[in-house]
């Protein structure tokens, strides 16, 4: 059995009991305290999980500040695939990282965090970008594991043998600043912004130099995809909510974005769960758009 969107705790434990090659990834993170995710993982994680750091493993080094405050310059092999505050690494660099931790093409990937699925979707999407379909988000995250009565561990996980992960054709669509800008206002492109409504309207902006949103973008905060229990809403409910938001627009025209391309992914996944296809992701998102000279911005609700 292969899981490609969500996986429950019961389904995960059944896979493990059945001997299916599976790798668990703990993607816990905190934007305000980037080192805290690793510390939390060291204190407690699902047994067997590998820790993944958003800044160092799931983002290119280029543009990130070093510990001394200097800006890290990308090596040739690390030319980013996107811009913004969390630029995507090249597909080749990320494939090499997957090989270095022992992940192989025959494995089922299961990703989770302790942040209401805020960060683990990034790895889920990147695996699809690598052409690896057997990747799923643990519905409810680490909290669901604990609620089911399973224990956590603070044991240091053993290193995995080097594998030879092979890149395949991407299973998801990556939009660029150039492609988004060239179709701005086109009926064939529907932008959906996953940030909270005050940031979308430009009332606050804690991270980027310009407040507001891409003109014409709709707003669906990524948190709207979850119920009170932290799990994704049922497929029928997600479909109804997206169809209301789209108001007749073609689901295949959707391009999701957020601040830096991370929290937009729950919207991408939710549309897949809802049976609305595979929308594109603008990974550079507002942090790249607002730092690109000459591009229009808008404040307030979009007309």
Q: What is the secondary structure of 220-241 as a DSSP string? A: --GGGGB-TTSSBPPHHHHHHH
Cα 195 vs. chain centroid, distance in angstroms? 13
The CA distance from 188 to 250, in Å, is 8
Among candidate residues 258, 265, 268, 269, the one labeled active-site is: 258
Q: Which helix (H) or strand (E) holds 24?
A: strand 22-26
Q: Which ranges of the chain does DSSP label H, i.e. alpha helix? A: 9-18, 36-43, 91-100, 120-129, 141-147, 177-182, 197-201, 235-246, 265-273, 285-289
Does the annotation mark 258 as catalytic?
A: yes
Q: Facing residues of 175 across strands?
A: 282
CB 46 within 8 A of CB 24: yes
Known catalytic residues are: 258
């Amino acid at each position: 059995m292969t899981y490609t969107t969500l996986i429950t705790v019961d389904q995960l434990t059944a896979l493990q009991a059945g001997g299916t090659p599976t790798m668990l990834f703990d993607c816990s993170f905190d934007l305000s305290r980037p080192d805290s995710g690793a510390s939390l993982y060291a204190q407690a994680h699902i047994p067997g999980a590998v820790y993944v750091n958003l800044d160092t493993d799931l983002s290119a080094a280029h543009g990130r500040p070093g510990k001394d405050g200097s800006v890290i310059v990308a090596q040739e092999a690390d030319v980013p695939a996107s811009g913004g505050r969390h630029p995507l690494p090249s597909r080749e660099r990320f494939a090499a990282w997957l090989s270095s931790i022992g992940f192989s093409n025959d494995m089922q990937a299961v990703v989770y965090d302790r942040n209401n699925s805020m960060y683990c979707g990034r790895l889920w999407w990147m695996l699809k970008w690598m052409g690896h379909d057997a990747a799923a988000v643990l519905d409810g995250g680490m909290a669901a594991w604990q609620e089911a009565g399973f224990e956590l561990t603070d044991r240091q996980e053993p290193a995995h043998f080097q594998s030879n992960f092979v890149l395949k054709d991407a299973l998801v669509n990556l939009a660029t600043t150039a492609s988004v800008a060239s179709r701005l206002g086109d009926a064939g492109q529907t932008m959906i912004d996953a940030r909270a409504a005050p940031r979308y309207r430009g009332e606050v902006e804690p991270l980027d130099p310009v407040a507001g949103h891409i003109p014409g973008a709709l707003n669906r905060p990524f948190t709207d995809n979850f119920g009170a229990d932290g799990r994704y809403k049922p497929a029928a409910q997600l479909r109804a909510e997206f169809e209301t938001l789209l108001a007749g627009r073609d689901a295949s025209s959707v391009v999701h974005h957020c601040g830096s391309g991370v929290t937009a992914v729950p919207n991408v996944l939710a549309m897949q769960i809802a049976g609305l296809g595979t929308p594109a992701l603008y990974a550079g998102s507002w942090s790249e758009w607002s730092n690109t000279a000459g591009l229009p911005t808008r404040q307030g609700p979009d007309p």
